[in-house]
Structure formats: C-alpha cells, structure tokens
Chain A
C-alpha cells in the first residue's frame, strides 16, 4: 500500500498529483500530515506543497476540463471532507489520462462523488444566504455569526458584498475561526478573540446594540408568528427546509 501525506490544501493535492506522475507510483491512500500512519504499508511519501508544480497540474487540467468542471472541483474541495481526497485525486488522474473530458461521465463513481459534493457545498452556501441574520451594532456595523458545515464563506462573501454595498458588516465563521469585514469599500479577512461573550452566544450585548435593534427583532418575531396558518401546522416540513442546526443564530427562533 502506498501512502501520500499532504497538507490538505488544494495546492497540496495538485502537487501530490504531480509527484505521483513524477515518481510513477500512485497512492492508495491520501492523508493529512497530522493523521498517524497505519501499522502496515509499503511506501510512504510526504508531499511538499509547491505552487509551481500545482500550477502546472492545474494548467493541464484546464486543457482537459471545462470551466464549470474546474469550478466544481474547487467548490467540492471547500467541503474539506477527508473522504473526498482520494476521489478528487482519481478524478484528476482520470481527466489527465483520458483523451476526452470525463466530467460528464456520472456512471464513474469518482466523478459522481465529486459532483455531488460540489452540489452539497453549493447548497450549504445557499443555506447561509438564507439563514444569516445581522444585528445592527451601535456604531452602524451589522454583525452576524455562523457555523456552516463546509467552508463556504469565500463563496458567499461576494453575494453579501454586492447586496449590502452601503452598510459595513462583519460575517464570522465560528467553526473555522475567521471572518470577513466589509467597510463599504473593501472586504478584509479578520480573526478575533472568540472568548468575547457575543462570539459565544451569537448575540450582541445590549450595550453594543443600536437603539432600534431590539424593536426590529421583536417586529420580525411578531411577523414570523403571524404569518403561520395554524390550520396547516407542519413542523416536520419546517425542520426539513430549515434544519435545527441553523436555529441557534436565527432571530425568530430565539425569543428575547
């Protein structure tokens, strides 16, 4: 069994592809640096991420795959799933070896897995566009916390930046410990001390809130209650479309 270890970045994966072709030995297992090696294996190779090598592989892929397929690869990578590494590697290898593009051969398990993962990531992005709730702080900044399953913040930020172009906002991914701050001109990546109480609870302290914020939250809760038709109650459907894991930061689901 051949094992490749890499740093689990996209560049690292592309370098692994380069190394495999250079060494003429292809891995049976791809794993992160920090994962301990199994008890038995034949060969172990540690990939040292090299941007030049990664770019060469990416350029080779660009000749083989369409724009959509490449963006699908990159999107799927943002899922950060460890079980995606091998299918992604095999997908890239098959694309390079095949005379024509294999991107639409969904009977191939690797292509299907990568495509489905891409779809899941895109769906999680949509969920964030749906369920992010901003709170207005006293200084006029809008603050929102989220904990998405996948690392979708880079995919979602363009949407928020376009939509709320005239308001400063902070979007923070608590699970991955980074966020984006927009100051009406440009977006910057920020890190914060997460011991602050509002990073723990997701709610800004009353002293930090804008004076009307409480009222608008109350108005929204009122609206949310009033819009429901009691004769048609269907909590199962509600949980299907709005899974409980998002409720933590939803204004309407967290009364006062």
Chain B
C-alpha cells in the first residue's frame, strides 16, 4: 500500500465509474461472529454520495482497465490513449477489507477489462472474491461482473462467493450492438446470463433437499443499458427490460444516460449533455413495472414509442386513460388507488388500512403524504370539491401539472435602465 496504489486506485475508479449499479440490497446475511461484515438486505446501505449525486455503496473498481475489445461507447476501449493500471489481487483485497472496517463501504463491486481471454480475466475476478470470503472471512457484499465468453465452470465458482452477478447488455438492439461493438453479439451477453440463471435455479432445487447447501448468487443478477447512444426508442428499451424482469433471477435493470466519452468516434451521436431527464423517466417507468403493477404496453406502445419528458409516465398514462378516473378513495381496490398520480405505494397502503376505521377525507390524504396537487383531479373522496379530469379535459389537466419554467423577467413590466447610481449618466449630452 503506497502512493502507487493511490494512483492505480484513481485510474481504475475513473474507468469503472460509468457502471451504474451500486446497490447492496437483496441478501440478508448475519455475521454471527464468524468473521467481519454482514449484509442487511432491505434497501441496502449507501455510505456516501458523490458530487454527481450518485450513491457510493460499494467499492466500485476495476481489476484492470487494459482491454482487448474496442467497443465504441466504452472509455476503456483498446484504441483509447488513457492511463492503464492493474491492481494485484492482494492489494485489492486489502483495500476492500480496510475500507470496510472503517465503515466506508458495504462491499466490493468488481469488474474488469478483458485481458488475454475471457477465462483468464474471469479467473482473476473469482480469485479476489474467493480470497475475501475464505482467507479474510469477509461477510460483506460482493458484486461480480461476469465476463462475456467466460466458461460455465468459472461462472459457477464465482456464484458461490458473489452476492450478485451482472452482465451488461449496454445496447438494447443487436444490430446497433454489432455496429458499436464488433466483437460482441447478443449471444455473448445472454449466455453468461443464462449460466447464472441456471445456477440459481439448480441451487434452489438443491437447497430444497438439503438446506446446508451454500447459496448461489443470492441477490440475483442485474444488467445495464446505455440510453441515448443509439437511435433506439424507449419502447424498445422498456420492452427488453420487461422481458428481462420476467426471467426468474433478474432483479434490476439499470439505465445509464450516454456520456460522450469517445468524442472522436463518428458512429456515436454528439451529445452536449447526457440525457438525464430521459434516463429519469426510464427509471420511473421501471418502477411502474416493478412496484405499480403496470404492463409495458400500458406505458409505451407503438402510438407513443417514447416517454413524455414533461410529465412522469404514470401521469402520462392517467391522462391517456381518463375513463378509469375518478377513483373513489373509500371504495376502490388497492391496485386502482396505486394508479392515481400523486399516490405512491406508501400512501396507498395507509389509505387501504385506514378506511376500515372510517371514511378517509382529503384532509387525511394530505396528512398521509398524498401529493394533492396532482391527485385531486383523479379522485373523489366524499367532500372533496375539485373538478375532476372529466370536467377539465385531459389537456387542461396536463397544462396545470406541467412545471412551468420560471420566467426570469415579467414582460408586462417596463424595465428602466437607471445606470450606475454612483456616477449618474446625464440624460442629455
């Protein structure tokens, strides 16, 4: 551990930071005095937040940023002239342990550039996880990247030590993927994914017979798609996510607004700003799929292939479907209440519980945390006097709810230039 490690850490973090996933959720594992660390499950623990507002839960670092592939969207492509470094297994293990003991991190997120061949790289990743688990008896969270093209045996071994594994799809369309990353195709992505899935399912079956069988990738797998690097519509992205969520082990799909890292490559669009709003809308749509019981064709379809950037996808759906509303808060099913814009999972649960005791009024709703500014057009609850979406028409409701950019100056007001008060300029020469 020296100044050199410091440099390596900087270089390898810079290379790893474009990976979005940083969750430490999905497994509960108590320590019970057998070593150091535990995992808490639930929503996980974020230990810090970087200046870009993204959470830091895991030590997200690459084993090496040398890579033999030349993917257009990636900062570590072989044709890029960037500082390269490799951390030794021992260094990485020590870093993880020491950071963990100081409560800086929740565990390790390890990925790597592909050197020599996929199996060689994967083997080194597995070594790190194995050393942490067996030598240092580390019980914290480990997220391993599965290298596309790695053999099944290595994936199976990695799964014994990792909590979560992931393979990134990156581009939601095979043709675009082939264009941007000539060495990759969908098969090279889906194969490791199915290895992980089969491993988990087999393990589930084994544990049914003998509960002492060690768990295999208990927090399932995740993946990531880049948004805005290709011409793919939100419809394609969300359809793919929805199909992935239908697979038994897929827990999270991350969306990463494309950042123009390789400015010289003409195959990529020239973006001044990463598409942050679009990324945010995609995450909102993702939440609708996972927690609000929406189907993907309700959020985007051929008539509306892209998400509305001005309003969130749930409100957009509500404006397209006024026939469902107004919803009677005191009678409607939980599923229907969940569809009202301005009511989330928390307030919907509170409403359904409270109405057993008496009528729920708009006063109560406000206290429970419902965003009445939005919800009032879509609900009835007895005494609430507010025009509903039927009386106002969807387009007017939309106009009321779209945030207006703050006008800097009032154009009805005449502006007078008084000049500098210290040295008044004469009106007449």
The reply to whether B259 and A112 contact each other, CB–CB distance below 8 Å, is no
Shortest CB-to-CB span from B332 to chain A, Å, is: 16
B56 / chain A contacts, CB cutoff of 8 Å: 224, 227
Interface size for B (C-beta < 8 A) is 59
> Which of B8-16, B171-179, B219-227 sits within the interface?
B8-16
The reply to whether B14 and A226 contact each other, CB–CB distance below 8 Å, is yes
A215 / chain B contacts, CB cutoff of 8 Å: 1, 6
Report the Cα distance A164→B51, complex, angstroms.
Answer: 29
Shortest CB-to-CB span from A79 to chain B, Å, is: 18
User: In this assembly, does A204 line the interface, its C-beta being within 8 Å of a C-beta of chain B?
Assistant: no
Out of A112, A144, A241, name the residue touching B367 (CB < 8 Å): A112
The residue in B10, B45, B49, B357 that gathers the most chain A C-beta atoms within 10 A of its C-beta is: B49
User: In this assembly, does A223 line the interface, its C-beta being within 8 Å of a C-beta of chain B?
Assistant: yes
User: In this assembly, does A138 line the interface, its C-beta being within 8 Å of a C-beta of chain B?
Assistant: no
Shortest CB-to-CB span from B228 to chain A, Å, is: 12
B353 / chain A contacts, CB cutoff of 8 Å: 104-106
Out of B14, B46, B98, B354, name the residue touching A104 (CB < 8 Å): B354
Shortest CB-to-CB span from B283 to chain A, Å, is: 13
Report the Cα distance A240→B53, complex, angstroms.
Answer: 9
B11-30 contacts to A (CB < 8 Å): 13-14, 17-18, 30
Shortest CB-to-CB span from A103 to chain B, Å, is: 9
Out of B35, B48, B55, name the residue touching A252 (CB < 8 Å): B48
The reply to whether A232 and B52 contact each other, CB–CB distance below 8 Å, is yes
The reply to whether B357 and A105 contact each other, CB–CB distance below 8 Å, is yes
Knowing A162-B38, A167-B36, A231-B274, the reply to whether A109 touches B53 (Cβ < 8 A) is no
Knowing A104-B356, A134-B102, the reply to whether A165 touches B6 (Cβ < 8 A) is no
The reply to whether B1 and A212 contact each other, CB–CB distance below 8 Å, is yes
B55 / chain A contacts, CB cutoff of 8 Å: 241
B358 / chain A contacts, CB cutoff of 8 Å: 105, 107
User: In this assembly, does A131 line the interface, its C-beta being within 8 Å of a C-beta of chain B?
Assistant: yes
Out of A126, A159, A220, name the residue touching B99 (CB < 8 Å): A220
The reply to whether A250 and B101 contact each other, CB–CB distance below 8 Å, is no
Report the Cα distance A221→B312, complex, angstroms.
Answer: 36
User: In this assembly, does A182 line the interface, its C-beta being within 8 Å of a C-beta of chain B?
Assistant: no
Shortest CB-to-CB span from A95 to chain B, Å, is: 13
B residues lining the A interface (CB < 8 Å): 1, 5-6, 9-10, 13-14, 17-18, 30-38, 40, 45-56, 59-61, 95, 98-99, 101-104, 257, 259-260, 273-274, 276, 350, 353-358, 360-361, 364, 367-368
Other A-B pairs, 19, CB within 8 Å; known A165-B35, A228-B51:
A104-B353, A134-B101, A163-B38, A167-B36, A219-B5, A219-B95, A219-B99, A222-B9, A223-B13, A223-B61, A227-B50, A227-B60, A231-B273, A232-B259, A232-B274, A238-B52, A238-B53, A241-B46, A250-B48
- Listed by A's residue number, 10 A-B pairs whose Cβ atoms lie within 8 Å are A109-B367, A133-B104, A166-B33, A219-B9, A219-B95, A220-B99, A223-B13, A229-B54, A230-B52, A238-B51
